Amino acid sequence: MTAPRSTIWKLEDHTLAKHIILRKYLGAWLPILIRKGTSGLLVDGFAGPGEYIGGEIGSPLIMLNAYQGHRAHSIRQGRVKFFFVERDPHRSAHLRLKIQAHLQSQPLPPTATYEIHTGTFVDAMRDLLRNLACGREHYDAMFVFIDPFGYSHAPMDIICQLMRYPRCEVLITFMYEEIDRFLKRNCQAQSVHYDQLFGTSEWRTIALDCQDARTRQQQLHNLYRQQLLSVAGARYVRSFCMLNKRNKTDYFLFFATRHRLGMKNMKRAMWEVDPTGNFVFSDCTGLAQSFLLQNDSPPILAQMLYERFRGKLVALDDIEEYVIADTPFFKYKSSLKLLEQEGLIEVYGPEGRKKGTYADLAMTILFR
Ligand SMILES: C[S@@+](CC[C@H](N)C(=O)[O-])C[C@H]1O[C@@H](n2cnc3c(N)ncnc32)[C@H](O)[C@@H]1O
């Protein structure tokens, strides 16, 4: 997609999917992390003008609505700050008017504030990181949405510094189509940007050696994922692949966190996006790589679990860790039930446990 020049533009279908994921994830994130005595920061680092040509709302208003419309009253007892960053002054001014109009009919409670910053994501994050380091600002939890048009404004170095904060989670649009287009055409001219985007120069080997489009996509995806894991220190990283109208990858939506529950909730949100549309849950790491997720797939996960743990005695906690970290799934109990029905596992549960139930993470399971 070419970046629009006008202040507002038409909402694309794949932006809608991104918005559904954002809304659903925040619905789960807010009550877990914001309650009496805690504080949270929600950053929209590439906020946009706040609305689209058809009147649909943009990500900053989706964030505000997720908070204001949430049924859990406890979230309004904690302190919340919304921080919207937009470089283009026209879009930033448009966003300000939209938010002011919105808040006139639905004011924020005294525990919530917002700031619109006209400037670049990098500068805004450097200021934020400085304030966090010297204690001028403090948050118990941070969620950072990084949604640029291109690939040259969200360096890995900033993501690494943000992820150092223990409760910081990031949702990143990785503009694959553009990255690949310029990589094939003119990667030398863009090399500084690519180095910053990936936080390494390893992309050069892929650009030079890899002529096959599918393999190149997988390798670039995996390099970015690996950087989030090893350099940024995320423990869980997953991506969601958005296809364009020609059935080619437009972008990946990467989510990175240190927390199992955060990843579980993000997977739930990703799964709930209409699976009959052109949205592919991307999993470049395993057996389930190439199917469109249509439903929860207990038999597929059962097979994966059996292959992974065959001959081993494992705690349920380790099984959950594997499912969340290394598979596209987040529900696993129906798969265990299938294995138990087929006599492929033996469960050592708490006294009085009912067959087919797996409630205690400390219980152990023998995969025969
Ligand atoms: C993809 S749009 C954002 C859409 C918005 N997040 C939404 O979902 O409704 C990217 C926005 O980032 C802005 N932008 C471009 N470069 C930027 C930078 N370096 N820092 C902050 N914003 C930037 C653009 O003007 C544009 O409005």
Q: Please give the Cα distance from 49 to 60 (Å, whole number).
A: 9
Is the domain of 264 the same as that of 327?
Answer: no
Q: Whose Cα sits closest to atom 18 in ligand 1?
A: 120
Alpha carbon separation from 293 to 4, 190, 241, 281 (Å, rounded): 31, 35, 12, 7
- Structural domain includes residue 5: no
Which pTM was predicted? 0.92
Q: What separation in Å is there between the alpha carbon of 228 and the centre of ligand 1?
A: 22
- Structural domain includes residue 293: no
- What is the model's pLDDT at position 240? 85
Residue given tokens 């990785």 in the structure block: 174
Taking 70 as the pLDDT cut, the residues of the chain under it are 1, 274-296
- What is the model's pLDDT at position 275? 54
Q: What separation in Å is there between the alpha carbon of 272 and the centre of ligand 1?
A: 25
Q: Whose Cα sits closest to atom 6 in ligand 1?
A: 47
Is the domain of 151 the same as that of 238?
Answer: yes
Is the domain of 253 the same as that of 304?
Answer: no
- Nearest by Cα to 249 from 210, 211, 220: 220
Q: What is the pLDDT of residues 62-106, one digit of tens each?
A: 999 999 999 999 999 999 999 999 999 999 999 999 999 999 999
Is the domain of 187 the same as that of 264?
Answer: yes
Is the domain of 335 the same as that of 231?
Answer: no
Q: Whose Cα sits closest to atom 16 in ligand 1?
A: 87
- What is the model's pLDDT at position 296? 61
CB 50 within 8 A of CB 98: yes
Q: In terms of DSSP bridges, do strands 279-280 and 236-243 run parallel, antiparallel, or are they unpaired?
A: antiparallel
Ligand 1 site-directed mutation target among 46, 64, 128, 144, most atoms within 8 Å of CB: 46
Is the domain of 243 the same as that of 196?
Answer: yes
- What is the model's pLDDT at position 280? 62
User: What residues line ligand 1, using a CB cutoff of 6 Å?
Assistant: 15, 46-48, 58-59, 85-88, 91, 120-121, 147-149, 153
Q: Please give the Cα distance from 29 to 220 (Å, whole number).
A: 29
Q: Which two tokens mark 57?
A: 């709302």
Q: Please give the Cα distance from 27 to 329 (Å, whole number).
A: 19
Ligand 1 site-directed mutation target among 86, 96, 158, 177, most atoms within 8 Å of CB: 86
The CATH number of the domain where 39 resides is what?
3.40.50
Range of the domain at 162: 13-280
Q: Please give the Cα distance from 186 to 121 (Å, whole number).
A: 25
Q: Please give the Cα distance from 53 to 311 (Å, whole number).
A: 58
Q: What is the pLDDT of residues 267-312, one digit of tens each?
A: 888 877 755 433 465 444 433 334 444 446 789 899 999 999 999 9
CB 86 within 8 A of CB 118: yes
- What is the model's pLDDT at position 180? 87
- Structural domain includes residue 239: yes
- What is the model's pLDDT at position 289? 39
- What is the model's pLDDT at position 286? 36
Q: Give me the number of domains the chain comprises.
A: 2
Residue given tokens 């990084």 in the structure block: 146
- What is the model's pLDDT at position 349? 81
- Structural domain includes residue 247: yes
Q: Whose Cα sits closest to atom 20 in ligand 1?
A: 120
Q: Please give the Cα distance from 42 to 139 (Å, whole number).
A: 10
How many C-beta atoms lie closer than 10 Å to residue 155's C-beta? 19
Q: Whose Cα sits closest to atom 2 in ligand 1?
A: 48
Angle at CA 171, nearest 5°, toward 167 and 173? 160
